[in-house]
Amino acid sequence: MSTEPNQQNFKLSICSDTDLFAQMQSRWNDLVVADKTSSIFVSWEWMFSWWQVFQSQYKLMLILVLDESDRLVGIGPFCIRSHLGGRYRSLQFIGADSRSGTDFIDVITDSAFAESARWSIVKCILDQRSEWDMLKLNGLVQGSATLSMLWDIFAENLRLWPERHCPVGELPATHNEFLAGLGRRNRRNIRNHERRLQDEFKVTISRIDAVQDIADTYSQFVSLHRTRRNKTVGFSSFDNARIIAFQNELLPRMATNGHVRFYQLENENGTFGMAWFFVWRGHLYLYQGGFDNHHLPSHVSIMPVLISHAVADAISDGLQKLHLLDGNTLFKQGFATRTIETHMAFGWHTLHGRMFVILIQLGVLGRTLVRALIPIKLRNRIRRLIK
């Protein structure tokens, strides 16, 4: 259990103005760089792009921590959402919804002042409790110092719910070392499938990261993803217009600074496989994949080949980690050396808020039971019927 840190002479400010949020890019990202534990999902580009699209459902609540010289040393990137006609209000992280593919979220602090700045933000959450009934903080990594401080303040009024398992792989000095570190079967499959794709199906693999090519590449990627998902499960995350709008805001901002990479497989029949990656502060993030490989044998795996090529480039560029993000599947585990677990934190300060937490937890439990008891093929068939 943590204890209250020595307090600095910090000033706190709460920003609820989208125009001011829009002007914070430089200061925000300077702080992200100063936070040694931050991820791409708390970058200004990610959070502001999400806010531009989804803000109609929320009230902005950025908690800003400033030192004596007005330098930004901490940000609590929060928003408040009303539920059931305004009867309940939940305090959430900006961007924390499963549709946008956001995984690791936390408060942002200058590592030189991390403990004091984080404590100031957590105390401010409590001081602002008249604005919310329930905390619902998704994407907190297991072992987060923020979680420890929330436990100290909310004690029995806090619950944790396991959320996601995110495989992570360490990138060695060379691509050959990376392949050597994989399981023998995985390594053999990558080499055999790449050889078959190139020799038998005349496939070429290319990387697309030029700003002027990103918009067209994204449109092609969406088409591939929809084709595959609608054939297999009857729906695609890209059927959601707001997700498309969010990504159309995000991609130009990320691509301008070299943070976006698409890898594609194509032959005389056109492009039939793509993988979408982000690059951020020495880390390579696998975000999404899209395929329409109906003319290939079903046993030829595309995604491992694309990941292998992306990793080869990442190693050449000096990157250190591969994040496979949500989905603790056998396929992703084959590239991972460990797994990062995230949690959803629920907190309340009134009986009203506690009742809403129970409702949310019952909903989560219901979805978990459905996944455990109903085979995925049957679930997908039901989804197609509903659609």
CATH number at residue 139: 3.40.630.30
pLDDT of residue 19: 97
pTM score: 0.89
Asked whether residue 178 falls in the same domain as residue 158, the answer is no
CA quadruple 266, 277, 54, 358: dihedral, nearest 10: 120
pLDDT of residue 2: 45
Asked whether residue 17 falls in the same domain as residue 155, the answer is yes
Q: Give dist(CA 236, CA 257) in Å, integer.
A: 28
Residue ranges of the chain whose pLDDT lies below 70: 1-7, 98, 231-234, 293-295, 297-299, 328, 352, 356, 360, 364, 367, 370-372, 375-387
Rounded (10°) angle between helices 44-54 and 25-34: 130
Asked whether residue 196 falls in the same domain as residue 289, the answer is yes
Any idea which residue has 């492009």 for tokens? 271
Range of the domain at 247: 172-319
Asked whether residue 128 falls in the same domain as residue 150, the answer is yes
Paired residues of 260 in beta bridges: 278
Asked whether residue 272 falls in the same domain as residue 381, the answer is no
Asked whether residue 244 falls in the same domain as residue 291, the answer is yes
Q: Tell me if 5 is assigned to some domain.
A: no
3-class secondary structure per residue, 314-382:
HHHCCCCEEECCCCCCHHHHCCCCEEEEEEEEEEECCHHHHHHHHHHHHHHHHHHHHHHHCCHHHHHHH
Any idea which residue has 């943590």 for tokens? 2
pLDDT of residue 1: 39
Q: Tell me if 328 is assigned to some domain.
A: no
Asked whether residue 28 falls in the same domain as residue 153, the answer is yes
Asked whether residue 289 falls in the same domain as residue 155, the answer is no
pLDDT tens column, 14-67: 999 999 999 999 999 999 999 999 999 999 999 999 999 999 989 999 999 999
Q: Tell me if 326 is assigned to some domain.
A: no
Q: What residues have CB less than 8 Å from 17, skipping those under 6 apart? A: 60
For residues 343 and 192, is the Cβ–Cβ distance under 8 A? no
Q: Give dist(CA 253, CA 257) in Å, integer.
A: 7
pLDDT of residue 3: 45
Q: Tell me if 202 is assigned to some domain.
A: yes
Asked whether residue 266 falls in the same domain as residue 363, the answer is no
